[in-house]
Amino acid sequence: MKYPIIQYNDRMSALHPFSGVYAAAVTPLKPDFSPDLDAIQPLLEILARRGCHGALLMGTTGEGPSFSPEERFTLWRSATQARTGLPPGFRLLAGTGTPSLDETVTLTRYAFDLGMDGVVVLPPYYFRKATEEGLFLWFSEVIRRAVPAGGKILFYDIPTVSGVSISLDLLARLKDAFPDRFAGLKDSSASQNQAQALGRRFGHDMLILNGTDRLFTEALQAGASGCITALANLVSPDLRKVWESFLLGAPDLEAQTHLNSARDVSERYQPVAPLLKGLLALRFGFPLWAVKPPLLPSPVETVELALRELEAAGSLS
């Protein structure tokens, strides 16, 4: 699928260089739960071909917290080596957050050493009652010790999973302290109010990548610069249509409706990682990749039912 060149306009000039549509990519796994490195390039190629500007590797959908540092390094290395087969400018982000400060520093530093374009960092999610001052100190140490000049770090705000919420004041403080390295956040709060509050507070001064397909149009209108979503593994053409139509000043409501329907389906058949792996196998002929315990594969009947529902809703193209 080819995408038109967007004409330069005021909306586009206000966007961050990392703006666009990103897939929170699944992690291809062999039956023994080790990364299937041979599958990395084909997966990234199909994401790029279907409209993604980049991919987040080892995020929530990629089961990142289930992998050792060595497994993450191996997968990121394979992804950076796969760049030769990808369109110029396809960006690679690494999920590097852990509850350990030192491990997060090591993962983040190594991701940049390998040539990843940026990192998306969960807060230290074990200590759910950490103070704002403690979170500022933790992120400051990660940035000082691991993010090079020109490197970009995003806070990963997913409070329903991490149990840690981020305040707008803390985001502003990190941006003020590290204006060239703290880029912004992946907003997976799934909150309409949060999307609007981020826009009111930061506008286009901070990179905001929305994590909820259902809110994508609204988040763009509020000031977001793009998205990182699990469903981009499957429905990136509609995400790309929403993004491009926003830049042209004419929201694509039909594409957004397709995204809403796809989100409804995915929420009925949680968890999403095994569901997506099953759907990718049926839809694109990939192997049925394993998921890492404690996750279990989605039953075949569930995947087939979800596929029929997505097709009936017009959410697959």
Q: Transcribe 24-67 into DSSP letters.
A: E----B-TTSSB-GGGHHHHHHHHHHTT-SEEEESSTTTTGGGS
Q: How far apart are the first and last CA of the chain?
A: 10
pLDDT of residue 223: 93
Question: Which of 163, 211, 221 shows the shortest CA–CA distance to 189?
Answer: 211
φ, ψ for residue 14 (rounded to 5)?
-85, -10
| Active-site annotation holds for 3 | no
Tell me how far apart the alpha carbons of residues 75 and 98 are, in angstroms, rounded to a whole number: 17
Catalytic residue among 80, 96, 110, 186, which? 186
φ, ψ for residue 6 (rounded to 5)?
-80, 135
Catalytic residue among 22, 110, 125, 156, which? 156
| pLDDT tens, position by position, 231-247 | 999 999 999 999 999 99
Tell me how far apart the alpha carbons of residues 163 and 251 are, in angstroms, rounded to a whole number: 34
Question: Which of 47, 55, 53 shows the shortest CA–CA distance to 16?
Answer: 53
Tell me how far apart the alpha carbons of residues 60 and 64 are, in angstroms, rounded to a whole number: 6
Cβ(295)–Cβ(274) under 8 Å?
yes
Cβ(238)–Cβ(255) under 8 Å?
yes
| Active-site annotation holds for 60 | yes
Domains of the chain: 10-251 (3.20.20.70)
Q: Which residues of the chain have pLDDT under 70?
A: 1-14
| Active-site annotation holds for 175 | no
Other CB atoms within 10 A of residue 37 CB: 16
Question: Model pTM?
Answer: 0.94
Q: What is the dihedral of CA 16, 116, 190, 291, to 10 degrees?
A: 160
pLDDT of residue 14: 60
The residue whose two tokens read 């993962």 is 107
| Active-site annotation holds for 106 | no
Task: Report the SS3 class of residue 188.
Answer: coil
Question: Which of 77, 89, 16, 67 shows the shortest CA–CA distance to 41?
Answer: 77
Cβ(232)–Cβ(243) under 8 Å?
no
Catalytic residue among 22, 27, 60, 229, which? 60
Question: Which of 84, 158, 85, 74 shows the shortest CA–CA distance to 114?
Answer: 74
| Cis amide linkage into residue 159, ω under 30° from 0 | no
